[in-house]
Amino acid sequence: MRIASLEIRACRHADAALGGSALRDGQGREGLDYLVYTLKTDCGREASMFGFAGRSAIGSAHLAAASLRPFFAGRNALDREAAWHDWRTADRWWHHLPVYSYGPVDCCLWILGAEAAGQPLWRYIGGARAEVPVYASSLVLADADAYEAEALAVKAAGMKAYKIHPPGKSLAEDIEIHRAVREAVGADFPLMSDPVAPYTLDEAIRLGRELERLNYLWLEEPLPDESFGALRELTRILDIPVIGTEVLPKHPYSVAECLATRVVDGVRADPSWSGGVTGTLKTARLAEAFHAPCELHTTIFHPLELVSLHLNGAIAGSRYFEVLWPMEKFDFGLTESLPISEGMARLPEGPGLGIALDRDLIENETLEVL
């Protein structure tokens, strides 16, 4: 099963337009740019997967194609581990691609293997569970009232938990939001906080102490993931678990220090930014060896979310399956919606992903094919 070609499409989904406030960067988006990688083999098999594209699908596609196409040409599609290590060396020497470039092609390799074996991806990896509880993760909303209303909607929809991405402009406002949401959903509904690194160490300590009083499940990325010294001190001081590492490049190697010296209490990984299925599994196994959770990060795009769901079915250290809310804004790219009912995601039983990509949508949204 040797790789005959790698096609990369630059695409844009206009129906997912987002205001700049929703992502806290002040820059609105006309739609979500994404890539679609397609690996074809000499025996007639092929597999495709979405990829993150940042602000430019066309720019990201050209970078990925220039480096990854010649790298994978002629390789055995089942030699995923050899490709992983060879790419780590090649990327260090000359390519230096963004963290999201390698993951989709690694996902394609795993899909090819699972389909050839006639197994759903999660069982091909090594099944751990057939269903996973789901939590909804907010975008950045206008005020405490908006978060409160969304949290109640998430709870009413049967989701098992809710995570807040606060505005991050004022610690006092963020604390008010977290208090309002806890009061709205009641004492026992699981809540998490992901401020996305807006604070000083002192501010992060103050927020963490408040979240402890409010019985939040974890505090995620209150400081930049690379701020090892400050995060280690925060983790030492707080009782609430501190979670991080989702944007660190070079998983699992960059995560090892975080676990060995307790920079954080738990780590994050995903098949988009952590090097595909292979990278995510390596980080998850590393965390397991330290008796620490590896919480799987949302990948935004539902085809990648489906890969993340398969990974959730294959590892034991992730407590939930994360989806962005409102889900309908991101529900594109698959011929069926994600298999979620009453707050539980059920693993597909068909070979490979078990749900096909929406080829007509991809064709209609393609900006360029490389």
In this predicted model, what pLDDT tens digit does every residue of 150-209 receive, in sequence order?
999 999 999 999 999 999 999 999 999 999 999 999 999 999 999 999 999 999 999 999
Q: What's the CA gap between 339 and 350, in Å, rounded?
A: 13
* Over residues 227-242, mean pLDDT: 98
Return the pLDDT at 19. Answer: 74
Q: Residue 85 is part of a domain; what is its CATH number?
A: 3.30.390.10
Return the pLDDT at 121. Answer: 98
In a domain, 351, yes or no: no
Report the mean per-residue pLDDT for the chain.
Answer: 97
In a domain, 320, yes or no: yes
At 130, the pLDDT band (50, 70, 90 cuts) reads: very high
Residues 62, 192 within the same domain: no
**In whole angstroms, how large is the CA radius of gyration of the chain?**
20
At 310, the pLDDT band (50, 70, 90 cuts) reads: very high
Residues 193, 329 within the same domain: yes
pLDDT exceeds cutoff 90 at 245? yes
* Over residues 39-53, mean pLDDT: 98
Q: What's the CA gap between 258 and 247, in Å, rounded?
A: 13
Which residue matches tokens 């995620």?
220
Q: Express each pLDDT in 316-356 by its tens digit.
A: 999 999 999 999 999 999 999 999 999 999 999 999 999 99
Residues 114, 249 within the same domain: no
Residues 288, 364 within the same domain: no
Q: What's the CA gap between 112 and 106, in Å, rounded?
A: 10
Give the structural domain span for 36: 3-119+358-369
Q: What's the CA gap between 150 and 163, in Å, rounded?
A: 11
Return the pLDDT at 20. Answer: 67
At 73, the pLDDT band (50, 70, 90 cuts) reads: very high
Provide the number of structural domains found in the chain. 2
Residues 89, 131 within the same domain: no
